[in-house]
Chains A and B, each alone.
Chain A
Amino acid sequence: MIRRITLICTLGLAALLVVVAAGCGGNASGSGDGDSSLTLVAYSTPQEAYEEIIPAFQKTSAGQNVDFEQSYASSGEQSRAVEAGLPADIVAFSLEPDVTRLVDAGLVPADWAQADHDGMVTDSVVVLAVRKGNPKNIQTWDDIVQEGVEVITPNPFTSGGARWNLMAAYGAQIKQGKSEEEAVDFLRQVLEHTAVQDKSARESLQTFTGGKGDVLIAYENEAITAQQKGEELDYVVPDETILIENPVAVTEEASEQAQAFVDFLQGPEAQKIFGEKGYRPVDDEVLGQFDYPQPSGLFTIKDVGGWDAVMTKFFDRDTGLVAKIEADLGVSTESG
């Protein structure tokens, strides 16, 4: 008797779920009855921004009747997915090498960086996120390698964000006038203090807001996003830090509308939305409307050698400096 009731309830619940799901199954966000469709494959952090920008684009004449499919995951994963066949019209990644990979695979035109603003759509800077009230009084890079301070930064071999972080740390030392040796040693100290290495920048933010660690090395826009979502943290913009530049590119197979979308992204309306979400607009005029702090010792990736050189020098799994540091620390990556 009880068995029969259980059986009926079970099947009934299952059937209900199927019916409900099937009934609402067909249409989801953006995929309606438009004339054409664009697929945006982006890294995870600007999801909130694009969710406002895309409807704004769809209100313009260029964007009418254009449906969007969107995918957000960590930059490296997305870049690899597109390389492996994920169809994409527009790619927006967190750092340039993830686009270069697609250029090498023949999926993105080689001249993508000749576009406006060198192909970049947003900027940010590397900051030090701390607990609300900054209990450990962290103000500078040196403070994070103090005794007893736990650092959170992602795994530099799986996360683009981690690479920006470490180059910021390294470059800051150089900017302060330290020697190459001292700068590399500083990197070693940072990694020594690192308690958790998540696979992506967003995940390291989750780890930090989940209560682990004293300082999170992060993008400024990540810290702002967390604050906007009600997470309790503060952040410090160090005097010396790196300018993060996020690229966007149109793929080989994409239509003209994709280029129209990218143009829109670099236009004033989208740039303003980016600014409101915590990103620094690349458009100087729009940037002026916000009051993002300008660090006195701001430098770019070019100042430390450019991504090509940096990837080889620091992040090569076998011979890179970071790989060597991690191996020495017993915290290695894959040095054969």
Chain B
Amino acid sequence: MRSRLALRTVALGYLALLLILPIGLIFFRTFEDGLGPVWDALTNPDTIHALWLTILITLIAVPANTVFGVAAALMLVRQRFPGRSVLNAVIDLPFALSPIVVGLALILVYGRTGWLGGWLNANGIQVIFALPGMVLATIFVSLPFVVREVVPVLREIGTEQDEAAWTLGASPFATFRRVTLPAIRWGITYGVVLTTARALGEFGAVSVVSGKLAGRTETLTLRVENEFQRFDLVGAYTASVVLAILALVVVLAMNLFRRETDGDRGAARQQAVR
């Protein structure tokens, strides 16, 4: 059908201009001068450290947010308490906040003259401009995703199975482990993937609280900025490519798990209908 072709053309054209061309250009510009400069950029110790730091921060932030996410989802779906929708909105707030505001907020609390900063400083604990501060910023911005993915699944599956287990004498923890957790596992996994994507790519908030100490508190995204500013375009594009590849890996995982989650939800819905 003609209109089908037209629709397809418009959609693909839009995507080509907005998405495919820009990504293609990064890869092109990176390898424009051959593999040598790229290899040099990749093996730069500061860049390697930045990659490692990015991954380390992600490895801390993601499990923390996962545990929180499951606990909060259970709270939101299965318990009634006043202010439940407000809590729901607060959990989603990090999604919408400007990273500058996040950085400002953390400095106001943990900075030298901040609420907790004075005490921390006096006791020799460095939070801001060090790893803990960067982890906090990353946790902040990637907070909502596990919650948001687990909540709909929890709603779908209801509490019948849990109640059944309970009346059979299982403890709350065993119920959780044997009944609830397996049922929501794809929701959790998909949420973890989203959280990881967000954590790996964080720039703005971490930029404010990092101090940008090369080889110490510089993440890979900050490295991109630094290289770009020093006219080391190959270095900037190489680091961008590494980040883009990490992003692609996460994206592939997302799609893998999304199909599972939709499958789970579809099955649950069909079961409810019957």
Bound Cα distance A29, B215 (Å): 6
B51 with A17: CB separation less than 8 A: yes
A87 with B129: CB separation less than 8 A: yes
A28 with B55: CB separation less than 8 A: no
0 or 1 for each of A198-241: is its CB under 8 Å from B? (1 = yes): 00001100100100000000000000011001110000000000
The residue among B52, B56, B129, B213 with the most chain A CB atoms within 10 A of its own CB is: B213
B216 with A69: CB separation less than 8 A: yes
What residues of chain A lie closer than 8 Å to B45, measured between beta carbons? Answer: 24, 27-29
In the complex with contacts A24-B48, A229-B231, A85-B112 CB distance below 8 A: yes
0 or 1 for each of B93-118: is its CB under 8 Å from A? (1 = yes): 00000000000000100111110010
Q: Which residue of B lies closest to A31 (CB)?
A: B215
Bound Cα distance A87, B130 (Å): 10
Interface size on B, residues (CB 8 A): 37
A84 with B55: CB separation less than 8 A: no
0 or 1 for each of B217-258: is its CB under 8 Å from A? (1 = yes): 000000000101111000000000000011001001100100
Q: How far is the CB of B198 from chain A (nearest CB, A)?
A: 16
What residues of chain B lie closer than 8 Å to A70, measured between beta carbons? Answer: 213-214
B229 with A44: CB separation less than 8 A: yes
B interface, over-half SS: helix
Interface size on A, residues (CB 8 A): 44
User: Is A86 among interface residues, defined by CB-CB distance under 8 A?
Assistant: yes
What residues of chain B lie closer than 8 Å to A25, measured between beta carbons? Answer: 48-49, 52-53, 56
In the complex with contacts A24-B48, A29-B46, A226-B231, A84-B214 CB distance below 8 A: no
> 20 A-B pairs, CB-CB below 8 angstroms?
A3-B256, A7-B253, A10-B253, A10-B256, A13-B245, A13-B249, A14-B249, A18-B55, A21-B51, A25-B53, A28-B48, A41-B211, A47-B230, A69-B215, A84-B113, A85-B117, A85-B121, A86-B128, A206-B228, A226-B231
- Closest 9 pairs (CB-CB, A-B): A28-B215, A25-B52, A85-B112, A84-B111, A28-B49, A21-B52, A229-B231, A24-B48, A86-B129
Known: A7-B253, A22-B52, A70-B213. 10 other contacts (CB 8 A): A7-B256, A20-B48, A21-B52, A21-B55, A25-B56, A30-B215, A69-B214, A69-B215, A81-B211, A85-B128
